[in-house]
């Protein structure tokens, strides 16, 4: 049995007290003393009814006593910084003890709590222990509340000194902050006092500091250095804030400080900094731009002016470059336009070189701008959009390369809008890559593919995609009819790629349809040859037929009347008979504008194979009966029955085919262009015709005189244009309706 | 000098030859296709009946399938029989 009174407070306290005092003073306590204290608290609280209260009061007395001593020690110092130092030393010790001293008094906590709450109720999480609270509250009342203003001021002075590059013990500032955070008596919002005093003072000190410093620095070092300064300072202040401001969960001190710094360092000088932006973009100073981007990204609406600058730059630079390059490009295009007016399109190489240069120029621009956005703006989506928007302007700009779409004006003199020539040039470039040309032969398959992909990239920015498709289709038609595709697989891939980049589906479908049709036609051709193999050697070997679907290929206006030479006329019924046997209920329509062949041309010099259109053939066959005669234009018109424009264009290609030294035909009079040909102009076969290679006359050889001779007529082009204009009007109306529906 | 033909590629397009311009069922032009098809040509052929009336094959088949008893030409009401 325990003796009565053995565990009474009065008996136990004297043995407990020394340990408590030692703990308060941070003096060493032996293991047994530490254990005994636990035991003593436990027994007093359990066996003495009034024990817990008595312990609490005794403890309070001792703590207050201790604090009183500490207070005198601290307040000895009158000078602020010494006061701060002393305070922090005392506080540091005391704060550590706040964690240790409550431990032995766990039982006290439970007993005291049991008086007020129901025994089973658990202590809510996070609530401070009674002893700890007692310690902190006492400290707050006796010391801190008296001198907190002085402490805070000297802490701010230290931070100021640190900003000026002086080193000091950062623990001094941290200690003050800890005092604020931990000594709050406000249970609801523990950080309230900290926020209203320490945080506010810190933010204000920061603001005042940079309000003074920033303009000075800007003045002395210029904007570009200032940006670097601001950037460094922002980072520095952020790290400093992490150290000196409260960072516990839910505390917004650091972000508040950052915002304050951004305001005073960046927002205040927003205009000045942004003024430099355009210049930097012009000079491609990506590092500085990146810096500016980082700064401005923190400011509301800071990026917007930069986006404008980038856009303006892309447009200006793009156009300037294109204009500079236009010296090369337009000088040739002018020739091209001239030629077009003359119904001939013979400056084939010049034009083709054009489109290649043009596309390369566009791509070079695109890559340059993309690199700028990548290096300076980290591929930020907002800047990518600005780049795209501006690039679109460049691509569709009408000031450098205009394409007038001529349409017959019905009644009212409606003006045609100038359009960018870009889609046409892109289509020409595609043609160069897909056709058998010096360029496509020079490149590997992968290179061709890459270049086609490049075209598709630019094409994405082209507004008038239908114009591109029109030209592309015309080129494709030529390639399929003349069998000049460099690579059939690539041709068909291209159709799919066009679909992928979102070209109008009806156009793409038509292209796909053409490939199908060509295959059907090839099968038919071999059947035709098989059918004639036995009875007629010649026709089986030399006549090919391409029977196509009217819906996918032809336009009625593409059909031109011509009186075929006997040599060709004979085959027509044979083909028609063959086809009638294959398909009843179908009728053939001949498109001699598109047909073509090879003739052998014999003269005194040698023998040459010449690839020609059927029209050229028809003209040349006129001399077969009277090889040495001169034949007038009028007679040729009668003999061939070709329309005037076509006959002129055909004759011109035989007297002035570009890039050959000796022409097939010669003519009388001054004929500089097709329009100079009159009814009386005489034509005769050039007996000296020969191929000239490296200055040497060749006796044998093959030459292609088809060149750029269009497989379509002027009239059908006009129809196409009207179709495109109508399509565009429909589209505008449709989008208008959509808008109305939304409203 | 004499020009000799070595080879020739003759290009032609084909069209339907029908007594009428339009299909009597869908009223679309024979040069075009029936309403269910997108492109005219081999995929949307014409057929003739013994009565010599002509329709898109898709149109007449649809019509014939919808007739319960007698299969008649929608134009002349004679028994429908495909020509050939």
pLDDT tens digits for range A535-544: 766 777 788 9
* Reported confidence tier of residue A352, pLDDT bands at 50, 70, 90: very low
The answer, yes or no, to whether residue A633 has pLDDT greater than 90, is yes
Contact state of A551 with B4 under an 8 Å Cβ cutoff: no
Q: Does A578 touch chain B (CB under 8 A)?
A: no
Which pLDDT band holds residue A340 (cuts at 50, 70, 90)?
Answer: very low
User: Of the candidates A520, A549, A567, which has its C-beta nearest B13's C-beta?
Assistant: A549
Q: For residues B39-78, b (16+ Cβ closer than 10 Å) or e, as one string?
A: bbbeebbbbbbebebbbbebbbeebeeeeeeeebbbbeee
Put simply, the answer to whether A598 touches B7 (Cβ < 8 Å) is yes
Distance in Å, alpha carbon of A492 to nearest chain B alpha carbon: 19
Query: pLDDT higher for A123 or A728?
Result: A728
The answer to whether A554 contacts chain B (CB < 8 Å) is yes
Query: How many CB atoms within 10 Å of residue B82?
Result: 11
CB B22 within 8 A of CB B59: no
Tokens standing for residue A633:
């234009």
Domains of chain B: 16-84 (3.30.40.10)
Q: pLDDT digits over A6-36, tens only? A: 557 677 777 777 777 777 777 777 888 888 7
Q: How far is CA A592 from CA A414, A561, A578, A655, B13, in A?
A: 35, 8, 19, 21, 11
Alpha-carbon span A24 to A607, nearest angstrom: 121
pLDDT per residue as tens digits for the range B23-35: 889 988 887 788 8
Residue A685 has pLDDT above 60, yes or no: yes
Residue A133 lies in a domain: yes
CB contact under 8 A, A592 and B11: yes
Beta carbons of A587 and B54 less than 8 Å apart:
no
pLDDT digits (tens, 9 = 90+) for A577-591: 889 888 888 888 888
Q: Determine, for residues B6 and A597 on separate chains, whether the beta-carbon distance falls below 8 Å.
A: yes
pLDDT per residue as tens digits for the range A299-327: 777 777 877 887 787 777 766 665 655 55
- Which residue does chain B place closest to A525, by CA atoms? B9
Give pLDDT tens digits for A99-152: 777 777 777 777 766 655 544 444 444 456 777 777 777 777 777 777 777 777
Digit-coded pLDDT (tens) for A176-192: 777 777 776 666 667 77
What pLDDT was estimated at residue A382?
A: 80
Q: Please give the Cα distance from A343 to A12 (Å, whole number).
A: 122
pLDDT band per the 50, 70, 90 thresholds, residue A343? very low
Q: A609, B31 in Cβ contact below 8 A?
A: no
State how far Cα A719 lies from the chain centre.
38
Question: Which chain A residues have a beta carbon less than 8 Å from that of B15?
Answer: 550, 586-587, 589
* Structural domains in chain A (count): 2
Residue in the block written with tokens 């002075």: A157
SS3 category, A412: coil
Q: What is the CATH number of the domain that holds A39?
A: 1.20.1310.10
Amino acid A407: pLDDT: 47
Query: Is residue A233 in a domain?
Result: no
Yes or no: say if A705 and A611 are a contact pair by the CB < 8 Å rule. yes
Q: Which of B10, B50, B54, B60 to mutate to test the interface with A (most CBs of A within 10 A)?
A: B10
pLDDT value for A719: 62
User: Which helix (H) or strand (E) is A493 found in, with range?
Assistant: helix A488-500
- Domain presence at residue A738: no
Whole-number pLDDT of residue A342: 31
**What's the CA gap between A346 and A349, in Å, rounded?**
8
**Structure tokens, A312:** 């303006």
CATH number of A650's domain: 3.30.230.130
Interface residue A712 vs chain B (CB under 8 A): no
Find how far residue A508's CA is from the centre of its chain: 26
From residue A236, give the alpha-carbon distance in Å to each of A163, A457, A538: 9, 44, 91
CA distance A403 to A16: 103
- The verdict on residue A6 lying in a domain is yes
Q: Say yes or no: A511 contacts chain B, CB-CB below 8 A.
A: no
Residue A732 has a pLDDT of 61
Residue A49 has pLDDT above 50, yes or no: yes
CA dihedral A669, A675, A677, A679 (to 10 degrees): -140
| Nearest CA-CA distance, residue B68 and chain A, Å | 30
Q: How far apart are CA A543 and CA B5, in angstroms?
A: 10
Nearest by CB: A589 against B3, B9, B12: B12
Query: For position A598, what pLDDT does the model report?
Result: 92
Neighbours of A399 (CB within 10 A): 11
* Cβ atoms of B23 and B56 closer than 8 Å: yes
pLDDT number for residue A146: 73
Enclosing H/E stretch for A162: helix A145-163
Mind giving me the DSSP string for A660-679?
-SS-SEEESS--SSGGG--T
C-alpha distances (whole Å) from A600 to each of A178, A631, A691, A701 are: 104, 21, 13, 10
A444 pLDDT above the threshold of 50 = yes
Chosen from A524, A528, A550 to mutate, greatest number of chain B CBs within 10 A: A550
Q: What percent of chain A has pLDDT over 70?
A: 80
Look at A551 and B2 and tell me if their CB atoms are within 8 Å: no
Band the pLDDT of B58: cuts 50, 70, 90. very high
Averaged confidence pLDDT in chain A: 76
Confidence of residue A419 (pLDDT cuts 50, 70, 90): low
Task: Give the angle subtended at the CA of A621 by the CAs of A618 and A624, to the nearest 5°.
Answer: 165
| Contact assessment for residue A663 and residue A656, using Cβ atoms and an 8 Å cutoff | yes
Q: How crowded is residue A518: how many other Cβ atoms within 10 Å of its Cβ?
A: 19
Q: Do B7 and A547 touch (CB under 8 A)?
A: no
**A603 touches B: beta carbon within 8 Å:** yes
Residue contact B1–A571, C-beta within 8 A: no
Its sign, for the CA torsion A718, A720, A723, A728, is negative
Q: State residue A598 phi and psi, 5-degree precision.
A: -120, 135
pLDDT in tens, A275-284: 888 888 787 7
Alpha carbons A31 and A38: distance in angstroms, whole number: 11
A514: its two tokens:
């053409």
CB distance B11–A687 less than 8 Å?
no
> Is residue A143 domain-resident?
yes
pLDDT band, residue A347 (cuts 50/70/90): very low
Q: Which of A104, A139, A156 is the last residue of a domain?
A: A156
Distance CA A309, CA A354 (A): 31
Query: Given CB atoms, is A505 within the 8 Å cutoff of chain B?
Result: no
CB contact under 8 A, A588 and B6: no
Do the chains contact at A571 and B10, CB–CB below 8 Å?
A: yes
Which residues form the domain of A600? 544-717
Q: How far apart are the CA of B26 and the nearest CA of chain A, in angstroms?
A: 18
If DSSP states are collapsed to H, E and C, what string results for A720-739?
A: HHHHHHHHHHHHHHHHHHHH
pTM score, whole prediction: 0.66
Cα–Cα dist A322/A310, whole Å: 18
> Does A579 reside within a domain?
yes
Question: Across residues A1-6, what is the average pLDDT?
Answer: 50
Per-residue H/E/C for A279-319: HHHHCCCHHHHHHHHHHHCCCCCCHHHHHHHHHHHHHHHHH
Q: In chain A, which residues have their Cβ closer than 8 Å to the Cβ of B42?
A: 520, 549
Distance of CA A644 to the CA centre of its chain: 52
Q: Is residue A713 part of a domain?
A: yes
pLDDT beyond 60 at A639: yes
Q: Closest approach of chain A CAs to the CA of B38, in angstroms?
A: 10
The whole-angstrom distance between B61's CA and the closest CA on chain A is 18
| CB-defined contacts A:B, below 8 A | 145
CA distance A458 to A454: 6
Q: Is residue A134 part of a domain?
A: yes
A703 - beta bridge partners?
A610
């Amino acid at each position: 049995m325990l003796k009565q009174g053995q565990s009474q407070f009065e008996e136990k306290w004297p043995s407990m007290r020394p340990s408590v005092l030692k703990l308060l003073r941070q003096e060493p306590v032996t293991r047994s003393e530490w254990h005994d204290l636990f035991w003593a608290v436990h027994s007093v609280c359990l066996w003495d009814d009034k024990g817990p209260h008595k312990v609490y009061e005794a403890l309070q007395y001792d703590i207050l006593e201790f604090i009183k001593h500490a207070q005198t020690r601290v307040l000895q110092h009158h000078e602020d910084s010494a006061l701060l130092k002393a305070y922090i030393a005392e506080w540091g010790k005391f704060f550590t003890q706040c964690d240790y001293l409550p431990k032995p008094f766990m039982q006290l906590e439970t007993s005291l709590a049991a008086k007020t709450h129901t025994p089973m109720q658990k202590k809510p999480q996070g609530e401070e222990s009674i002893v700890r609270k007692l310690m902190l509250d006492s400290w707050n009342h006796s010391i801190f509340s008296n001198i907190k203003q002085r402490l805070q001021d000297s802490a701010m002075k230290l931070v100021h000194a640190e900003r000026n590059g002086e080193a000091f013990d950062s623990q001094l500032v941290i200690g003050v902050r800890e005092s604020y955070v931990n000594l709050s008596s406000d249970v609801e919002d523990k950080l309230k006092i900290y926020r209203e005093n320490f945080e506010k003072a810190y933010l204000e000190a920061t603001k005042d500091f940079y309000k003074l410093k920033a303009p000075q620095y800007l003045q002395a070092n210029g904007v570009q250095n200032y940006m670097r300064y601001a950037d460094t300072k922002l980072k520095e202040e952020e790290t400093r804030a992490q150290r000196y401001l409260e960072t516990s969960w839910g505390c917004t001190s650091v972000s508040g400080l950052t915002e304050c710094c951004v305001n005073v360092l960046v927002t205040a000088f927003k205009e000045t900094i942004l003024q430099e932006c355009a210049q930097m973009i012009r000079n491609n100073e990506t590092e500085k731009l990146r810096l500016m981007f980082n700064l401005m990204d923190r400011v509301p609406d800071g990026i917007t002016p930069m986006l404008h600058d980038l856009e303006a730059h892309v447009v200006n630079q793009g156009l300037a470059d294109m204009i500079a390059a236009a010296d090369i490009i337009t000088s040739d295009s002018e020739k091209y336009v001239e030629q077009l007016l003359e119904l001939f399109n013979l400056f084939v190489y010049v034009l083709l070189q054009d489109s290649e240069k043009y596309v390369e120029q566009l791509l070079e621009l695109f890559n340059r701008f993309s690199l700028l956005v990548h290096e300076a703006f980290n591929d930020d989506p907002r800047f990518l959009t600005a780049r795209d928007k501006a690039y679109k302007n460049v691509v569709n700009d009408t000031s450098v390369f205009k394409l007038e779409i001529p349409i017959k004006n019905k009644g009212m003199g409606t003006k045609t809008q100038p359009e960018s020539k870009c889609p046409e040039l892109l289509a020409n470039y595609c043609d160069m890559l897909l056709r058998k040309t010096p360029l496509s032969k020079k490149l590997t398959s992968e290179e061709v593919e890459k270049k086609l992909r490049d075209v598709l990239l630019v094409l994405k920015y082209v507004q008038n995609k239908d114009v591109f498709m029109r030209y592309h289709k015309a080129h494709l038609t030529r390639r399929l009819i003349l069998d000049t595709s460099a690579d059939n697989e690539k041709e068909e891939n291209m159709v799919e790629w066009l679909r992928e980049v979102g070209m109008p589906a009806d156009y793409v479908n038509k292209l796909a349809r053409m490939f199908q049709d060509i295959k059907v036609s090839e099968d038919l051709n071999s059947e035709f040859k098989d059918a004639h193999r036995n009875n007629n050697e010649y026709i089986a070997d030399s006549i090919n037929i391409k029977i196509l679907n009217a819906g996918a290929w032809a336009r009625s206006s593409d059909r031109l009347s011509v009186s075929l030479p006997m040599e060709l006329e004979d085959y027509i019924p044979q083909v028609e008979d063959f086809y009638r046997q294959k398909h009843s209920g179908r009728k053939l329509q001949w498109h001699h504008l598109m047909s073509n062949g090879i003739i052998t041309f014999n003269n005194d010099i040698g023998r040459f194979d010449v690839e020609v259109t059927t029209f050229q053939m028809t003209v040349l066959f006129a001399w077969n009966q009277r090889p040495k005669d001169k034949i007038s234009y009028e007679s040729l018109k009668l003999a061939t029955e070709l329309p005037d424009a076509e006959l002129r264009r055909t004759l011109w290609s035989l007297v002035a085919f570009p890039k050959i030294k000796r022409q097939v035909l010669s003519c009388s009079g001054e004929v500089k262009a097709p329009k100079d040909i009159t009814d009386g102009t005489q034509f005769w076969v050039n007996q000296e015709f020969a191929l000239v290679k490296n200055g040497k006359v060749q006796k044998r050889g093959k030459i292609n005189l088809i060149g750029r001779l269009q497989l379509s007529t002027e009239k059908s082009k006009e129809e196409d244009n009207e179709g495109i204009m109508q399509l565009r009007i429909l589209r505008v109306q449709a989008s208008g309706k959509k808008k109305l529906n939304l409203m | 000098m004499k020009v000799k033909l070595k080879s020739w590629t003759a290009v032609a397009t084909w069209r339907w030859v029908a007594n009428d311009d339009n299909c009597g069922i869908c009223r679309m032009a024979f040069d075009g296709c029936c309403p269910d098809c997108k492109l005219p040509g081999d995929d949307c052929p014409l057929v003739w009946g013994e009565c010599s009336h002509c329709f898109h094959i898709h149109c007449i088949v649809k019509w014939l399938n919808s007739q319960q008893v007698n299969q008649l030409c929608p134009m002349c009401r004679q028994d429908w029989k495909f020509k050939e």
